[in-house]
Amino acid sequence: MTSNNPQTREWQTLSNDHHLAPFSDFKQLKEKGPRIITSAKGVYLWDSEGNKILDGMAGLWCVAIGYGRDELADAASKQMRELPYYNLFFQTAHPPVLELAKAIADIAPQGMNHVFFTGSGSEGNDTMLRMVRHYWAIKGQPKKKVIISRKNGYHGSTVAGASLGGMKYMHEQGDLPIPGIVHIAQPYWFAEGGDMTPEEFGVWAANQLEEKILEVGVDNVGAFIAEPIQGAGGVIIPPDTYWPRIKEILAKYDILFVADEVICGFGRTGEWFGSDFYDLKPDMMTIAKGLTSGYIPMGGLIVRDEVVEVLNEGGDFNHGFTYSGHPVAAAVALENIRILREEKIIERVHAETAPYLQKRLRELNDHPLVGEVRGVGLLGAIELVQDKATRKRYEGKGVGMICRTFCFENGLIMRAVGDTMIIAPPLVITLAEIDELVTKARKCLDLTLSALQG
Ligand SMILES: Cc1ncc(COP(=O)(O)O)c(C=O)c1O
């Protein structure tokens, strides 16, 4: 409880007395009190102390079109007055969900024309797991249940989502993963590449998929799920050799491929989907976040036509949520997609802001703390190291957290994944705002280095 502002203190007291925050150490949060964010516009947030903060993470990678767009509020308000809720169970539908499904089919990769809606990305991946198994059962291969995923991947926080994810610290709580999910190595050259070149390591990491398929037996494997670029794991850009080799392996074995597009989808890479960026041909794609720019919760699973044809023969799919395809969320998503398209926001990311951000970020390579800068589109990562040449980390110093705190104190949100600083600003960020982001990032790297030396 550090604030002198009575209003902030009041909110912090409410937090202490009543709120359990996600991904937080409850006791530590009580001692410190949360930072209270009160308003936002464009790429900026304001907190209850009056500080203006450049949101280098677009919330949680989601606020694609930036904060404060009245059109989305108006779309929600109009829909709430007309039809605030109705479910899609029992052979009913409503216009917004149908129009949204069509709008998504129009932007999705060719041959992916159907969407199952959920309330979040995690629910999208739960849906995927059940749909994959249902699919193989309909095809008379009910043993094909195992889903192959990757260590340090992130697929959500429900029981299935956290199991599919490869976060050890999540598995440790609650006996995860559930049976039927196995993990292979991730393509994280900087941390795990050893003496291999990135290209060699990319092939090695991709080959782990084939080894796992053979170990489990292709008759038992239902699907492989992966993020085109791992986000929460630390913005891990696979070496150039990785996806081509994975594609060869997928072509060889009869298993489904699921691209988790929750972060990469809706323009983050400068293409509509990460699968477009890497020319992947997924059978299913999980979506959320940028679908509504985070203004309202919504997720889903986009499914390839050939898979839908099989599902059509399978009778009831006994799965769904009260809020699947919620009309207000659907109306907001439709308006969000309209804005992304009509304002050519993704085209601008592709042609202008992504190349500029990537160029400016790489200037940080000269900083003594920086071991690598990497990025694609409006995604970026800065590896903090003790020794650039050997990629040796500062052991046990919590350098990432030190840097993150300096960032907050200096008006920038950069997230720390261990000692990797990551950014994913709103897609509407301007060139001047990119300059501000990079200038602030450098200042915080300087402050972090001084703190380590002092
Ligand atoms: C790749 C990926 N998949 C799934 C999820 C889970 O989405 P949600 O938090 O909406 O459940 C996330 C969330 O960060 C994600 O990054």
Amino acid 1: pLDDT? 55
In contact, 245 and 270? CB cutoff 8 Å: no
Residue 155: CB within 6 Å of ligand 1?
yes
Amino acid 4: pLDDT? 84
d(CA 365, CA 372): 6
Residue 232: CB within 6 Å of ligand 1?
yes
Q: What is the 3-state secondary structure (H, E, C) of 397-436?
A: CCHHHHHHHHHHHCCEECEEECCEEEECCCCCCCHHHHHH
Which of 155, 284, 323 for mutating ligand 1's site (highest number of atoms within 8 Å of CB)?
155
In contact, 148 and 221? CB cutoff 8 Å: yes
Amino acid 114: pLDDT? 98
CB count in 10 Å sphere of residue 160 = 24
In contact, 2 and 31? CB cutoff 8 Å: no
CB count in 10 Å sphere of residue 363 = 13
Residue ranges of the chain with pLDDT lower than 70?
Answer: 1-2
Amino acid 143: pLDDT? 98
Which pair of structure tokens corresponds to residue 226?
Answer: 């992966």
pTM over 0.95: yes
Q: What does residue 385 show for φ and ψ, rounded to 5 degrees?
A: -140, 165
Question: What are the start-end ranges of the H helices in 152-282?
Answer: 159-164, 168-171, 189-192, 198-216, 242-252, 274-277
Instruction: Provide the CA 130 distance to its chain's centre, in angstroms.
Output: 21
DSSP state of 70: H
Q: Burial of 342 by CB count in 10 Å (0-12 exposed, 13-18 middle, 19+ buried)? A: exposed
Centroid of ligand 1 to alpha carbon of 156 (angstroms): 5
> Which residue has the CA at smallest separation from atom 13 of ligand 1?
156
Question: Which numbered atom of ligand 1 lies nearest the CA of 60?
Answer: 14
Which of 117, 154, 379 for mutating ligand 1's site (highest number of atoms within 8 Å of CB)?
154
